[in-house]
């Protein structure tokens, strides 16, 4: 008998039919003799609908009240899923974040889980009940409802798995697992049997969002075996664990990210501290900087380029314009017509040759990224996938 945590996202419980589909998966797992804890998100567009309702009333509402509002979404879905499980004839109980022992920071709308105290869950499992837990939400030390931010239900699931030393944490999604490339783009893309935490983290940051990043970091920290699999197709998914043993491949995936922009600061005087100060300013605005390039110009200045998320273009302009004028740099150029293509693989660490095949610098030992014109992005992914996986 194992303890299995199963997490289902909002689209998996979007309507009554899907709720019963999930109930079937859960009760099958239970009927095989396992203890089952289920973590569910709010149904379909519920969270967005609730946010829109709040926006209509007050776009500047406090984060505490926003959390109060959206947390109602999971309350509905855990109740409905439990009702479906009851209908199938199995013992079940639903628990809200605070009932399930999710103690978080007070950073409303993006709270961190401080710890999970699973006493109640354990008591219910001892009574042989399936336990359905509201993902995405918790309670602060002040007894206020908090939420973990988008994708937080993955983190909820891994946190329970860690707190209860679960044997497996299954993350059900609308894809069948982790692929060597986006299957909608590359027909020959194939599903990986397994992948390491580090590879998964790199893929997640690269626009191949299958799992929430914080959840993978937490799984790595507590060594929780994850399985990414489909809630609609019954088939083994991809296992995420410390070392990928099954696959001996050099690289495990190719990813495309078109939500990037290139920022170039032209003619920065070549004096110590200028670049550091510039990146400090950007980072103070919570803008994540990726690929950084410096090129020395002929007149003793340098050009500094880096990538940022596409939606941060205005923020970057606002935060750098004055500074680069003060230090006497020549220009600030923004390129939005770019895409980032990356290959990820733990095998690269010991194969220096891989990086030399690409022409720009890598920011990780298991990832190589290049910036290309957006219009060429799909062809590039296909070509790279052919080169590494189909030859």
Residue 94 touching a second copy (CB under 8 A) = yes
Helix axes 213-222, 197-205, angle to 10 degrees: 170
Residue 69 touching a second copy (CB under 8 A) = yes
3-state per-residue secondary structure call for 320-369: HHHHHHHCCCCEEEEECCEEEEEEECHHHHHCCHHHHHCCCCCCECCEEE
Residue 39 touching a second copy (CB under 8 A) = no
Residue 18 touching a second copy (CB under 8 A) = no
Residue 71 touching a second copy (CB under 8 A) = yes
Question: Which of the ranges 92-100, 205-213, 230-238, 271-279 carries the binding residues for a second copy, by CB under 8 A?
Answer: 92-100
Residue 20 touching a second copy (CB under 8 A) = yes
The SS3 call for residue 218 is helix
Residue 63 touching a second copy (CB under 8 A) = no
Buried b (16+ CB within 10 A) or exposed e, 104-137: beeebbebebeebebebbbebbeeebbbbbbbbb
List the one residue from 64, 112, 193, 330 that touches a second copy (CB under 8 A). Answer: 64
Cβ closer to a second copy: 133 or 203? 133
Cβ closer to a second copy: 79 or 327? 79
List the one residue from 25, 36, 37, 96 that touches a second copy (CB under 8 A). Answer: 96
**Both structure tokens of 238:** 């991809």
Compute the CA torsion angle 61, 63, 64, 70 (nearest 10 deg): 90
- CA gap 92, 126 in Å, rounded: 12
List the one residue from 58, 283, 321, 373 that touches a second copy (CB under 8 A). Answer: 58
The SS3 call for residue 164 is coil
Residue 149 touching a second copy (CB under 8 A) = no
Question: Which of the ranges 64-72, 103-111, 207-215, 261-269 carries the binding residues for a second copy, by CB under 8 A?
Answer: 64-72
The residues binding a second copy (CB under 8 A) are: 16, 19-20, 50, 53-54, 56-58, 60-62, 64-66, 68-69, 71-73, 75-76, 78-80, 82-84, 86-87, 93-94, 96, 99, 120, 143-145
């Amino acid at each position: 008998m194992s303890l299995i945590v199963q997490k289902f996202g909002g689209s998996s419980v979007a309507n009554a039919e899907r709720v019963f589909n999930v109930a079937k998966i859960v009760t099958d797992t239970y009927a095989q003799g396992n203890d089952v804890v289920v973590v569910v998100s709010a149904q379909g567009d519920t969270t967005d609908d609730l946010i829109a309702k709040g926006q209509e009333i007050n776009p500047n509402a406090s984060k505490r009240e926003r959390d109060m509002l959206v947390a109602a979404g999971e309350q509905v879905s855990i109740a409905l899923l439990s009702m479906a499980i009851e209908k199938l004839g199995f013992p079940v109980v639903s628990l809200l974040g605070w009932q399930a022992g999710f103690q978080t920071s007070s950073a409303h709308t993006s709270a961190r889980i401080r710890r999970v105290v699973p006493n109640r869950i354990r008591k219910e499992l001892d009574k042989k009940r399936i336990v359905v837990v509201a993902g995405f939400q918790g309670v602060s030390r002040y007894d206020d409802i908090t939420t973990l931010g988008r994708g937080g239900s993955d983190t909820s699931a891994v946190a329970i798995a860690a707190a209860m030393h679960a044997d497996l944490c299954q993350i059900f999604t609308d894809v069948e697992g982790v692929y060597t490339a986006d299957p909608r783009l590359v027909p020959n893309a194939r599903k990986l049997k397994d992948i390491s935490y580090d590879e998964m983290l790199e893929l997640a940051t690269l626009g191949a969002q299958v799992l929430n990043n914080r959840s993978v970091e937490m799984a790595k920290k507590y060594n929780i075996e994850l399985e990414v699999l489909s809630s609609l197709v019954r088939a083994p998914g991809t296992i995420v664990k410390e070392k990928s043993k099954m696959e001996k491949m050099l690289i495990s995936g190719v990813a495309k990210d078109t939500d990037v922009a290139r920022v170039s600061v032209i003619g920065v005087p070549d004096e110590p501290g200028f670049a550091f100060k510039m990146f400090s300013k950007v980072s103070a605005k919570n803008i994540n900087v990726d690929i950084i390039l410096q090129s020395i110009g002929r007149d003793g200045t340098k050009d500094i380029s880096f990538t940022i998320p596409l939606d941060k273009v205005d923020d970057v302009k606002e935060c750098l314009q004055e500074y680069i004028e003060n230090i006497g740099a020549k220009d600030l150029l923004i390129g939005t017509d770019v895409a980032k293509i990356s290959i990820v693989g733990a095998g690269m660490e010991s194969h220096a040759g891989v990086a030399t095949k690409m022409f720009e610098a890598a920011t990780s030992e298991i990832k190589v990224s290049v910036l290309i014109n957006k219009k060429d992005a799909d062809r590039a992914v296909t070509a790279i996938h052919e080169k590494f996986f189909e030859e």
